[in-house]
Amino acid sequence: MSDSHGKKKALGRGLSALLDNSDQENTHKEISGAYMSGTIALVPIGMIEPNPFQPRVHFNETELAELAASIQEHGIIQPLTLRKIGHDKYQLIAGERRLKASKLIGSTEVPAYVRIANDEQMLEMALVENIQREDLNPLEIAISFQRLLEECRIKQEELSQKVGKDRSTVSNYIRLLKLPTEIQVAVRDNLITMGHARAIINVEDEKTQLLILKKILERKLSVREVEETVRNIGREKVTPSALHDSPLPGKFEKARNSLHEKLQSKVELSVNRKGAGTIKITFKSNEDFDRIISKIDS
């Protein structure tokens, strides 16, 4: 990456925040092994070797292209896991699809958890301790659970005992990682709750999941309203196409058209069943913004 702005975009907001306090010298120390387990480092792709024990050989090119587009838009949400095997040499433990997709968009470095060869016990302790923190969002907890299962080879029953949560709770967190990237980002950024995400998981079709997310954000739907929507889809009372924008009630449609005519800009208006909603006005430049404000003030 050529500048700090590009680096933050590639990482995504959550990961860049973790690295914002690290200057270049500290980042170099992290990837050379002088760090605590769990630290996220930016590692040059050219230093990463494939895992010789990776059983998966063939990757769906369409899915890789979709993942690459997602990474370009949202960054890598779940860092790769690498094992340090020498000076400036790392071996991939987990995240081959993310690595391949990053190469497709020309990334030169990726965020990764870097592990020393025999630090499994230390990693387990660090992750279990990390999960107990109160400031973690559900996606961060899900990623920690997944790392314990994959990298520390802990079974789900043992994991639930270690973190003091029942198996169904652990399973619900891990299922978040099966959701489309856009929904994971919404959970990470606290735009929707764990309850919203759990309801969406019960919808099998990804396009329908994303339509439900759009409605949650536009109409500020409660978890109960989302659960009811999902139940109705299951009973075929609501078809996926019905989730697309429906006509606004008369006075809201009239108000939107009136605003559009006055401001000469695109105006979007959404309203929920309780009468609460949002108005979105699009502007193209600083000058256009000033023009709109002057019309509103007049």
Give the CA angle between residues 243, 248, 252 to the nearest 5°: 150
- Would you say residue 209 has pLDDT above 90? yes
pLDDT confidence bin for 174, thresholds 50/70/90: very high
pLDDT at 82: 84
pLDDT, mean of residues 29-43: 57
Average model confidence (pLDDT) across the chain: 77
pLDDT, one tens digit per residue, over 74-99 is 889 889 888 887 778 888 877 888 99
pLDDT at 223: 92
pLDDT at 1: 43
Q: How many other CB atoms are there within 10 angstroms of residue 158's CB atom?
A: 13
CA atoms of 184 and 162, how far apart (whole Å): 25
**CA distances in angstroms from 21 to 16, 18, 26, 40, 110, listed in the order given:** 9, 7, 9, 12, 18
Pick the CATH number of 4-173 from 3.40.250.10, 1.10.287.110, 3.90.1530.10, 3.40.50.10800: 3.90.1530.10
Residues designated as active site: 96
Greatest CA separation for the chain: 69
Helices 167-175, 138-151: crossing angle, 10 deg rounding:
100
pLDDT confidence bin for 18, thresholds 50/70/90: very low
Domain locations in the chain? 4-173, 206-243, 250-297
pLDDT, one tens digit per residue, over 149-167 is 887 888 888 888 888 888 8
Instruction: Give the burial class of 50: count Cβ atoms within 10 A of its Cβ; 0-12 exposed, 13-18 middle, 19 or more buried.
Output: exposed
Q: Are 138 and 107 in contact (CB under 8 A)?
A: no
pLDDT, one tens digit per residue, over 234-293 is 666 555 555 555 556 677 777 877 888 888 887 877 777 677 778 888 888 888 888 888
Lowest mean pLDDT among 112-126, 204-218, 257-271: 112-126
pLDDT confidence bin for 16, thresholds 50/70/90: very low
